[in-house]
Each structure stands twice: as structure tokens, then as C-alpha cells.
Chain A
Amino acid sequence: MNELIAPTLPYDMMPRARAAIADVHLQQFVGRATHLKDEQRKSVFGADFGHDDYELLRSVAATTKQQALDQLDVLLEQFIERAQAHGSIVHAAVDAAQACAIALSIAAQHEAKYAVKATRCVKSKSMLTEEIGLVDALTRAGIETVETDLGEFILQIDNDAPSHIVTPMIHKDRAAAARSFVRVLGSRYTEDPEELTAIARAHMRGLYRHAHIGVSGANFLLAEEGTAVICTNEGNFDLSVGGPPVHIMFVGIEKLLRGARDLAPFLKLLARSGTGQPLTVYTSFVNGPRRAGESNGPKELHIVLVDAGRTGILGSSKRELLRCIRCGACLNACPVYRKVGGHSYGSVYSGPIGAVLTPELNRGAARAEGLANYPDLPRASSLCGACLEACPVKIDIPKFLLHARAELRTRTLSPASESRALRLWRWLAQRPMLFRLAIRASRLHARMLGQNDGRHAWISNAPGPAAGWTQSRDLGIASAQPFRAWFVQHAAERDAPPKEAAR
């Protein structure tokens, strides 16, 4: 699998984060694109629902999905039964390896059924298939598998990896795309996005026509109806499922909803949160293979329900994480993601949700390895709360980041210097007089070391125990006036009778 999203563990975030920050292009692209998407989301919800109803809608979605998770066993059983009634073949996979093995065994039966060996596969965008490394597994088995989402395709031919849940090639520019098109497709050099898209379109048409197997994910599963719901903007899902005789859909068990009656809020939230659209261009509903008398559509529809760490989360106090609908809004809103980019998270899932989800999904059987393998992720946040505010299903990401930090400390996975500093702090905080003295002393000390631009003061190269902190960020310096003094002064102002002139 690609080292970018499946790095050697334990994963050290710093080298990639530093490289990303030093990369002028990346700073420009990612910064601009995320900022724009974040603004779009806010303005579209503001215009379409208004602030209060947007809040309500998010609560409705959060509650609906949480309640679905609370009865996931019932819903899953119902879904399986209905999907089978539609003629779908349902499989279950404990982990990534098993999920891939199921795909390979389906492919192995191809020749017996269709008199031709399965060697070509078209794949529609899906986070889960990235997570389980499906493309590699198929390719190794001699099945050439092509990503049909334009962004994913460009990443694939470039040996790159997605760095954003929704806009996978957010870190890349058009020149990179142009070069790989010349190299891989033999097309003439052009940087025009429209021409590049047309070249990809023409290339992909041939693949859709002649593929043996189609692969996709799903955004929602409807228990009451046994229906799978898939959202795309390009239309590649419909084409991937319509042509090949066999389709395999990989779905995480957390995608279940009670039924179609619960779906509307999610479709409205997903598109607006991700890209500011009222709905994704294509919202496709699938109920089994083609019916008698139909001349196209898959003859076999396989649905592979994947666990891969999800039941562990479901049975833990972090169940709420499974509400995520992969809209990407928290990535766009996150000041840290904007600077370090998706690859810094060393996982398929980046940004705030990735920072909490990746360790959880990788806990393993002993439920312990996750954080030890990704010790930096819980700290890759300023805890500003922007992710929670953006999340359409109100996942309290900052809370879980804090929990993870606490776990790192109790399991002494965090540096010893940090523990020492915190112990000192706790000791001081319980002794008001000493505390005041210490703060005053540190302020004086810091002002001697720091820089000052008239409005702010900071230290970019602290000595001693604070050195680690200033390696990756500046240390702010307390202002000259202590808060206690400021409060006394302003309390007096507040209590004074209002002055006319103050208007």
C-alpha cells in the first residue's frame, strides 16, 4: 500500500508536517481551497436554512444517526434480509485482509461463470476501499483496477495518495496532472482543466465498456428497504455499476440508517457540508442486480459489510465517532489541516476526524496499539472547536482529542518533560501566592527572551524545557498586565454608571 496513507508504524508526524509547511505551493492550494469551501458551507447553510435551523438540522442528523448506531444490530440484520430479498449477495469481513480476500474469491469465480478471466476492474471513489488497500490486492492478483473519480485517477497514475476525503488531489496542481497524462495516456501536454477532463473521459469510456468487475463504496444503507445509496458528482458510480457483469460494493457497518424516511436530512447536509451544493449531482439508489428483462446493470451484486475496527468503536465510549458521514467539512475548517495538509496524518482519514479515527481504527485485537502507533495525532489540533462547529452530525472531536491526550499521558506515551511540566503546574496552581509569583517571574524572563511587534510578543526559540514546544510553534508571552489586574480595572468600569459619550 502507499506509504503516504499506510506509513511505517509508529508514525512520526513531524517530518511530513514540516515539509508541508515549507511547501509554498501546497500552502497556497490547500489554504485557498479549504478556506473557500468552508466559507461556501457557511454561506449556503445561512442562506438555505438560517443559523437556527442549521443548528437544528445538525441536531436532527446527529440524533438520527446515533439512534441508528444504538440499534445497529437490529438494523444490520434487517438490511441483510432485505438486500438478499432484492437479490444481492451479502458478505461480511472482519478486517481489511478478509475484505480483500472476498473480492479476490469473487473474481476467481468469474471465468467459470462468464467464460472470461476477470482482468479489468473499474472503481468508483470510496474511502473504505482505500482503507483496506483493495486496489493493491486486486492489482497483485492480476486485475487491473482503475480509479474512475478524476482526482483519484490522477493520484493513481502518479503513485500519489488522496489527501482529503472529498477533494482527494487538493495538494496537487494542474501541471502535475498534465505531466502524468502525457506520460501515462500519451496525450499531448495541456494544463487546461477542461481538456484534461475530456482526455480522462475518453480514456475512461473504454474502461467502462470492457471492465469485468465494478467496485464502489456506499454512503448510506437503508435497513427497512435493503437499499444502498451512493453520492457522486461526476457520475462515475452509475457508469461503474452499469457496465460490468459483476459489482462489488464495500460498506462500513456504520453506514446504516433506519430507512428512507430518515435519509433526506443527511443528503441535504452531506452535499452542503462538503461542497456547498444542494445535493450531490448524482444520488444513486441500488436495490440488487438487474431485473429480468433489463438489458444492462450488474448480473451479480455483492455487498461486503466491513468491520475493520468498527465494532470496537461501537462498543466503546467513542461510539459517536461512527456518526461521521465523511463530508470533509471538519478538514476544511481546521487551521492545522490547512497548514499541514492531509498526508501529514499518515492515514486515509486526515484532518480532525482522522486524528481521532485513525488510532481507533488501528487499535487491533488488544485495543491498545492505535495510540502508540499514532502518538502525534491527538496533538495535531489547536482545540479551537472549528471542527465541531462544522460537523453536520455534531461529533465532539475536540472532546475525543482531549481524551486521547489523557490516554497518552496515563499510558506514559507522552514525553517525560511534558509530564514533569504538568506536575509542576498542578503543584503551583494549588498555591495561589506562589502561583502569582511564578507567573510574574516567568513574564519578566520571557520578555527578555522574546520578540515584540508592538501588538504581540512571542518567543520562537525557547531554552530548556520549553524548547520542544517552540520547535513547531511560537510561545506566546503573557501580556504586561496580569489578568487579575485587568479584571479589577474592568469590573470597576462595568459597575460605573453608563456614560452618554460612550455611545
Chain B
Amino acid sequence: MNDATIRARDAGVAALLERVRRAVAAQPASAMNAVDLSIARRTSASNSDLATIFATRASSVGMRVTRCASDALHTTVAAIMRAHADTSTPNQTLRTVVAIRDASLAQRMRDCLSSCPATLARDDDADGLFDCDVGITDVDCAIADSGSLVISTIGRMRNAWITPPIHLAIVFESQILADLVDLFEIRNECTTAASTTIITGPSKTADIEGVLVTGVHGPAYVEIVLVADESKHVADAHALIR
């Protein structure tokens, strides 16, 4: 891009700012009082069982939640993979991309896949993503109130959770925030990572005569493995949220 283009662009931006300044000054500001945004909160952190609220709400928007103890993570993931491999064509192997920020968890999952009907895809091949059947991710955090997953591009390949038809997300109970309001009260990936997506359900449309169809562009299946925290992962997860 040459200097003239850049100058023209910056002049355009400056001119817009000037027009906006004049427009703002042309009208008195409204006499509305300051507001308390906390009215938007529905679920509070004092709630003792955020995990159950999260599981219920995530199910009600169409994601599948399987709860397990942390030592049962491998068997739980393997069972879900096997079920999906069998439903399409029996004995199919699932091309799987692992996009997990926590290095040790990523290694555990890659190990786990060796006992699944799966082949491991590269996690740096953007085009190859389109040939994957499953994307396995962890999350930055989860939100109990809406049953949502929050996943950023920090330490994870972008769109690994949205390109393959199946998304398997591993959530530790200690990663669950009460409400969306809480997410924006802490400085987090939403406003720092190149990209972050809050996911609340499988990809959906009702464009054709209002009939609900899942799996339009993103996954038709979102499988959440909700892991009861013990020892190590509590600390790890908190590090992730922060």
C-alpha cells in the first residue's frame, strides 16, 4: 500500500471523527441516570452447584454433557469417540484434531486417541481442518447461566471447534463462571486474543420455514465432558481463567 492511499485513508477517518464530533455537539446529552448493570445477572457465584446449573443449561441449548471424575476422563472420551464412530459407518475411524491449550492435557488426549477409532490430524494445517471429523478442545472458561463455552485462539488452532462436524470440549468444574456478567468483569481472552468465541449450542438455523436444523456451518454435535476437579487441574484451570 502506498503513502497516498494511507494518507487518504487517515484523512477519511479524521473527517468522520469531525462529523461525529459536530453531530454529538448538536444535541444535548440525554438526562438519563447512571445505571446498575448487575440487573443483567441471573446466576450468582454464591450458588453452590454451578456445575449442575451449567450441565442443565448446556443440555437445554442442545449440547450433550457427560460428567465424570478426573481419573475417568480417558474412558469417557474414548466412549464418546466410539459411539460417534459407530453411528455413521461401523468401524469408521474419525480424523481428529486436538486443539488444547493446556500442554499436559493435550498430551493426555493424544494418548487417549490411540485407544479410540481415530487418526490424529495436524493442528497447524488450516486447510486440513475441513477434512476432520472431530475437534477436541479445552476451554478458557464456561458459563453456568447460559450453558456456554468460552474458547480463544490462545494456544489453540482457530476454528478447530467449529469446522469439524463434531466438537468435543473438556471442561473442568472449576472453570465455570456463574454468569456472562462475570466474564466481562475480569480481563480475559475475549478482548485480548486474536479471536474468542462464546459457544451456546450446536450450529443452528431455522431459516427454512422455521424448522430447526443443527449443523449448518459449525458442528451438529457438541459433546461436553465435564470433569470433576481434583488436585492439579484446579490450579491449572484458574490459571487459564486469569
| A277 touching B200, Cβ below 8 Å | yes
| B157 touching A296, Cβ below 8 Å | yes
Query: Cα distance A441–B15 when bound, in Å?
Result: 62
Which chain B residues lie closer than 8 Å to A307 at the CB level? 16, 19
- Residue pairs across A and B with Cβ atoms less than 8 A apart, 5 shown, are A59-B35, A73-B21, A98-B12, A197-B215, A234-B204
Query: Cα distance A73–B14 when bound, in Å?
Result: 11
| B185 touching A60, Cβ below 8 Å | no
Which chain B residues lie closer than 8 Å to A33 at the CB level? 210
Q: Is B117 engaged at the interface, CB distance under 8 Å to the other chain?
A: no
Interface size counted on chain B using CB atoms at 8 A: 80
Interface size class of A (residues with CB under 8 A): 35 or more
Q: Is A6 engaged at the interface, CB distance under 8 Å to the other chain?
A: no
A interface residues with partner B (beta carbon < 8 Å): 29, 32-33, 36, 48-49, 53, 56-57, 59-60, 62-64, 66-67, 69-73, 76-77, 80, 89-94, 98, 105, 109, 148-151, 154, 167-169, 173-174, 177, 193-194, 196-198, 200-201, 204-205, 208-209, 222, 225, 227, 233-236, 238-239, 241-243, 253, 260-265, 267-268, 275, 277-291, 294-297, 305, 307, 311-312, 314-317, 319
B interface residues with partner A (beta carbon < 8 Å): 1, 5, 9, 12-13, 15-17, 19-24, 26-27, 29-30, 32-37, 39-42, 57, 61, 124-127, 129-130, 145-148, 153, 157-159, 162-163, 179-181, 183-185, 189-211, 213, 215-218
Chain B CB within 10 Å — which of A89, A93, A177, A315 has the most? A315
Known: A238-B218, A288-B194. 11 other contacts (CB 8 A): A91-B13, A167-B207, A167-B210, A169-B207, A209-B130, A233-B204, A242-B163, A265-B39, A314-B23, A314-B26, A315-B23
| A268 touching B180, Cβ below 8 Å | yes
| A243 touching B181, Cβ below 8 Å | no
| B205 touching A151, Cβ below 8 Å | yes
A197 and B208 in contact (CB under 8 A), knowing A67-B32, A289-B194? yes
Partner of A280, one of B40, B190, B200, B206: B200
Determine how close the nearest CB of chain A comes to the CB of B23; give it in whole angstroms: 3
**Chain B's interface: helix, strand, loop or mixed, by majority?**
loop
Partner of A233, one of B24, B34, B41, B205: B205
| A94 touching B207, Cβ below 8 Å | no
Query: Cα distance A92–B19 when bound, in Å?
Result: 11
A150 and B147 in contact (CB under 8 A), knowing A66-B32, A109-B1, A287-B193? no
| B191 touching A287, Cβ below 8 Å | yes
Chain B CB within 10 Å — which of A150, A285, A297 has the most? A285
Determine how close the nearest CB of chain A comes to the CB of B133; give it in whole angstroms: 13
Query: Cα distance A154–B205 when bound, in Å?
Result: 13
Partner of B184, one of A53, A174, A264: A264
